[in-house]
């Protein structure tokens, strides 16, 4: 295949990095803003819409993105995640963390370019010219040096269509999973009503009276002393709770026997609740594990109550985080958690809710396994397509 350097302006028009918008520029209606969070591999999916006024958009006309343009993240894991701005969207304004690119479709098709930038081939190039560890970034100058395999247009079209069909199947699975994610909260509202206004008049109790709440234990200093780590006892960190899907299914660290002696092993079924940095994010342990004192463990007599409390907390999480005291970082304490008022429906109703949630989780597991198979198929097709073997 021929190669096309992204710097060749007759083939691609690569705009400046996006506008340096301030939150004070945002408004509730007008011209949409394109954020990094809106760009997924080969998919533009806007979240939490924000807008600027038409007047502000005219001032930022150099940063306008139109249907058919590529929107590419300049930072993240990984940077240079790319998608085509779809025909269903009105023109928008890109933020400072987005590169926009307008392909000359007599030489390069937008769908093909987006698909390429999201491959391992492209990411290998990109990773060699990024900087930063926690959030890798790329400069516009360096991005222009990324080299793109450029077969004839009919071949680009064939590759884009073949990979597009596989991507459409993956998108359907992801959409189904997103709907299932919302089903538990919808079921909670249907069965118990709004947990804040308590329209069904369930009796209120303090969370500390519904079950036991205690902090995780990590007595040794420093906490990361080598002799504490690397054994057979799972150690769940705050981030793994904060980023789980409601259930803690994996861990990246372990304690040695010495580490276990200065900590505490919690049983599977414990609800982990973060109380520092990430506030009131929660997940139920699916295996026994230790965790530090930045996480609180909640246990109840019946597992259904643990499931009920997990779902109840999901409605309160943002409010608790927004109102958490802040010094070096936001945090809440055991007294705040134990003193929260929680509506308490009859246990049989909680048990019915837990059974419904379990059914949803079983269905999600099926779709996740199917998505994993589709991901593997897509990766294989990508590999073949950009090696000229499709």
Average pLDDT of the residues in 94-115: 90
Same domain, 117 and 166: no
CATH code where residue 255 lies? 3.90.220.20
Same domain, 145 and 29: yes
Same domain, 160 and 244: no
5 — pLDDT class (breaks 50, 70, 90): very low
The strand order across the sheet containing 70-73 reads 12-14, 98-103, 70-73, 82-84
329 — pLDDT class (breaks 50, 70, 90): low
Q: Which of 344, 366, 381 is the last residue in one of the domains?
A: 344
Pick 323 or 236 by higher pLDDT: 236
Please report the pLDDT score of residue 385 as a whole number: 83
Q: Tokens 């190669």 label which residue? A: 3
Same domain, 47 and 62: yes
Same domain, 146 and 262: no
Rounded to 5 degrees, what are φ and ψ at 29?
Answer: -155, 160
Same domain, 101 and 172: no
Range of the domain at 315: 203-344
Tokens representing residue 86 in the block: 């779809």
Name the domain count of the chain: 3
233-291 residue pLDDT tens? 999 999 999 989 999 999 999 999 999 999 999 999 999 999 987 888 999 999 999 99
For residue 133, pLDDT over 80 is answered with no
With 0-12 CB in 10 A as exposed, 13-18 as middle and 19+ as buried, what is 348? exposed
Long-range CB pairs of 343-348 (<8 Å, 24+ gap) are: 343/192, 343/195, 343/198, 343/200, 343/202, 343/203, 343/204, 343/312, 344/202, 344/203, 344/204, 344/205, 344/210, 345/191, 345/192, 345/200, 345/202, 345/308, 347/302, 347/304, 347/305
Is the C-alpha dihedral spanning 179, 184, 185, 187 positive or negative? positive
Average pLDDT of the residues in 131-138: 78
Same domain, 8 and 144: yes
How far apart, in whole angstroms, are the C-alpha atoms of residue 168 and residue 233? 41
Same domain, 289 and 208: yes
CATH code where residue 384 lies? 1.10.287.1120
Same domain, 79 and 130: yes
Pick 328 or 87 by higher pLDDT: 87
Q: Which of 109, 132, 150 is the last residue in one of the domains?
A: 150
Same domain, 209 and 171: no
Same domain, 241 and 336: yes
Average pLDDT of the residues in 207-230: 92
Please report the pLDDT score of residue 349 as a whole number: 98
How far apart, in whole angstroms, are the C-alpha atoms of residue 156 and residue 165? 14
334-386 residue pLDDT tens? 888 999 999 999 999 999 999 999 999 999 999 999 999 998 988 888 888 88
Same domain, 273 and 370: no
């Amino acid at each position: 295949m021929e190669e096309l350097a992204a710097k060749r302006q007759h083939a691609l028009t690569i705009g400046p990095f996006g506008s340096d918008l301030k939150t004070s520029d945002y408004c509730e209606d007008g011209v949409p803003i394109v954020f990094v969070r809106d760009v997924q591999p080969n998919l533009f999916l806007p979240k939490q819409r924000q807008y600027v006024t038409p007047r502000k958009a005219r001032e930022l006309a150099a940063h306008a993105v139109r249907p058919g343009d590529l929107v590419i993240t300049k930072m993240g894991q990984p940077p240079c995640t790319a998608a085509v701005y779809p025909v269903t969207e009105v023109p928008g304004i890109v933020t400072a963390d987005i590169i926009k690119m307008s392909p000359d479709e007599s030489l390069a098709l937008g769908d093909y370019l987006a698909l390429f930038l999201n491959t391992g081939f492209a990411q290998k190039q990109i990773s060699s010219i990024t900087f930063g560890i926690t959030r890798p970034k790329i400069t516009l100058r360096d991005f222009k040096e990324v080299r793109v395999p450029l077969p004839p247009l009919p071949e680009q079209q064939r590759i884009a269509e073949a990979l597009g069909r596989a991507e459409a199947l993956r998108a359907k699975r992801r959409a189904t999973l997103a709907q299932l994610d919302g089903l538990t909260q919808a079921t909670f509202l249907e069965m118990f009503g709004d947990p804040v206004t308590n329209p069904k008049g369930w009796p209120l109790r303090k969370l500390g009276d519904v079950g036991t709440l205690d902090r995780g234990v990590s007595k040794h200093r420093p906490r990361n002393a080598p002799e504490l780590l690397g054994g057979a006892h799972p150690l769940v960190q705050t981030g793994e709770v904060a980023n789980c899907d409601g259930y803690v299914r994996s861990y990246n660290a372990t304690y040695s026997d010495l580490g276990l002696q200065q900590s505490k092993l919690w049983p599977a079924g414990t609800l982990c609740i973060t109380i520092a940095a990430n506030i009131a994010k929660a997940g139920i342990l699916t295996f026994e594990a230790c965790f530090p004192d930045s996480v609180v463990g909640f246990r109840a007599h019946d597992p259904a109550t643990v499931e009920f409390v997990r779902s109840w907390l999901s409605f309160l999480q943002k409010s608790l985080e927004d109102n958490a005291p802040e010094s070096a970082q936001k945090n809440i304490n055991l007294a705040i958690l134990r003193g929260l008022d929680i509506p308490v429906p009859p246990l049989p109703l909680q048990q019915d809710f837990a059974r419904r949630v379990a059914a949803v989780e079983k269905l999600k597991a099926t779709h996740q396994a199917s998505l994993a198979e589709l991901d593997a198929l897509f990766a294989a097709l990508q590999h073949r397509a950009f090696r000229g073997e499709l």
